[in-house]
Amino acid sequence: MAKPESSSGDHEARRRTSPRVHAPGDKRLDGVLDFVAFAAKPMPIGSLLDEAPRRIALILGADVCSLYLLEGEGNVLVMRGNVGFSPTAVGQVRLSIGEGITGAAVEYMRPVSSATAAKHAFYKHFDELGEERFPVFLAVPLRGKSGALGALVVQRRKPAFEDRDIELLTMMGAVIGGAVRQAELIDAQRERGPRKAGGGTRRVTLPGRPLVMGRALGAVAALRRPAARQSERIRVDGSAEARAKDDVKMLRGAVDVAEKALVGLRDRARSLHLTDAWFLETYVQILEDARFRERTVELIREGSGIAQALSRVAREVTRTAASFTKDAFLDERAKDIEDLCDALTMLAAADKRAELPTKAVLVGDALTVFDLLVSARAQPVGIALSERAHGPRTHSLLRLFDVPAVVDVKGLFRWASDGDVALLDADHGLFVINPSKSEIAHTREYRREEEAEDA
């Protein structure tokens, strides 16, 4: 018996109940699928901080997207990724848990939104951001295994975020949280291994405050100074008078080199409008001071070597300053002379123990004019300073160095040793000791693109 033909109504019913393949063309769906594929791949934390905010902003039609990570003792939210604001905001904008709309989202572990953020009870204003341009605000927490990892924030001019936007951002926050947890897990696993000074295998990421943007790769080298009691060169030839004459000549050469360099730095500071670099003029004045030069030459002719003569001049100035109680100017000038004498010692007769390897990432507790005159000769590729480095003088010196720089890096000397490979990411304010191969490759590619743009 023949099978009856299907009616057109049966065909229409089957068409309506057949699965639908959502082909490309839906901008929002395409963006979500692209984001999921991106976040599923292992990647350096720098890639995540760069790309995740950019992709999320496109999906939600946001003018601004910021990624905050919870740092310190687990109570400080630091902006580590952003699109929409000035790049200089990254690493600088910080909130306590419960502070601002973002801090409130983390405190309550719930999304918080507002169509007019400035009128919200939790709102905290940052003058440098110009957030008033983007009043529509949505913040969701990033969840970890036992609490918050950070927060994800989107902002725009209009319209207000809908419920579906809040749900979507919450889910994307969960995906990002998983990527952050994965990075933490990798670090924790490597920390179980033994620490090896000078090239260990432990990967550690230390956060700080970016000061001069950029990224650098190199071996770690601690900033050095000449030995407190530097031994003089042993010379058996010639008379004492001839040796003194030779030392005076080398000293004068060192003074000329330092003076020209400082004048150049002073002029560059002026062109960059570094008003806090006024102290460079003090160093120039010290070198031009006839009494300073004459006293050092006098000590050399009496039999002291260059290092001993300069060290004694520095001590004499320090004692003079100490005799004037509560004279801050003289005390500061004494420190300047001591620092300058160290630099002149190295310029006149280098102390091998104080020399630095070339193309290194320098680490230290402080930066001084000695480093601009001496350490800079090693052509460092980046600088990381501990939480002990502070003040406008340090900031001015770093800007004059003009290499990527991160300050306020806590635990720097606990983890970093001479010879370790370091990735200094001053775009996000991160100092990575013994970075992974993918992080190294990503940084090298970044540098190549940067050099191509500058060419």
Which of 135-139, 174-178, 231-235, 270-274 is least confident?
231-235
Q: What is the pLDDT of residue 164?
A: 96
Please tell me which residue, 111 or 393, carries the higher pLDDT value.
111
Average pLDDT of span 303-323: 81
Q: What is the pLDDT of residue 5?
A: 56
Residue 436's pLDDT band, with cuts at 50, 70 and 90, is: confident
State which of 57-61, 189-193, 332-336 shows the largest mean pLDDT.
57-61
pLDDT at 215 over 50: yes
**Residue the block writes with tokens 């003018």:** 63
- Convert the pLDDT of each residue in 176-188 to its tens digit: 988 887 765 555 4
- Please tell me the distance from the alpha carbon of residue 355 to that of residue 347, in angstroms, as a whole number: 11
In what helix (H) or strand (E) does residue 268 lie, and over which residues does it extend?
helix 240-271
- Structural domain boundaries in the chain: 26-191, 204-224+357-454, 240-353
DSSP state of 349: S
- Convert the pLDDT of each residue in 45-76 to its tens digit: 888 999 999 999 999 999 999 999 999 888 89
7 by Cβ neighbours in 10 Å (0-12 / 13-18 / 19+) ranks as exposed
Q: What is the pLDDT of residue 201?
A: 59
HSE of 363, CA atoms in CB hemisphere, 13 A:
29
Residue 82's pLDDT band, with cuts at 50, 70 and 90, is: very high
pLDDT at 363 over 90: yes
Read off the tokens for 4: 């009856």
pLDDT at 6 over 60: no
Q: What is the pLDDT of residue 298?
A: 92
CATH 3.40.250.10 holds for 204-224+357-454: no
Q: What is the pLDDT of residue 79?
A: 97
- Convert the pLDDT of each residue in 374-385 to its tens digit: 999 999 999 999
Read off the tokens for 328: 């801050």
pLDDT at 360 over 90: yes
* CATH classification for the domain delimited by 240-353, as one of 2.20.28, 1.20.81, 1.10.10, 1.10.274: 1.10.274
* Fold: same for 204-224+357-454 and 240-353: no
pLDDT at 22 over 50: yes
- Please tell me the distance from the alpha carbon of residue 438 to that of residue 428, in angstroms, as a whole number: 17
Read off the tokens for 343: 């630099």
DSSP state of 41: S
Query: Residue 47 CB: number of other CB atoms within 10 A?
Result: 17
Mean pLDDT of the chain: 86
Arch. (CATH architecture) of 26-191: 2-Layer Sandwich (3.30)
User: Which of 148, 120, 145 minimizes the C-alpha distance to 132?
Assistant: 120
The model's pTM: 0.84
Q: What is the pLDDT of residue 257?
A: 94
- Please tell me the distance from the alpha carbon of residue 80 to that of residue 303, in angstroms, as a whole number: 57
Q: What is the pLDDT of residue 199?
A: 47
Report CA 147 to chain centroid distance, whole Å.
27
Query: Residue 105 CB: number of other CB atoms within 10 A?
Result: 28
Q: What is the pLDDT of residue 390?
A: 79
Average pLDDT of span 7-33: 76
Which of 176-185, 301-310, 315-324, 415-424 is least confident?
315-324
**HEC profile for 118-171?**
HHCCCCCCCCCCCHHHCCEEEEEEEECCCCEEEEEEEEECCCCCCHHHHHHHHH
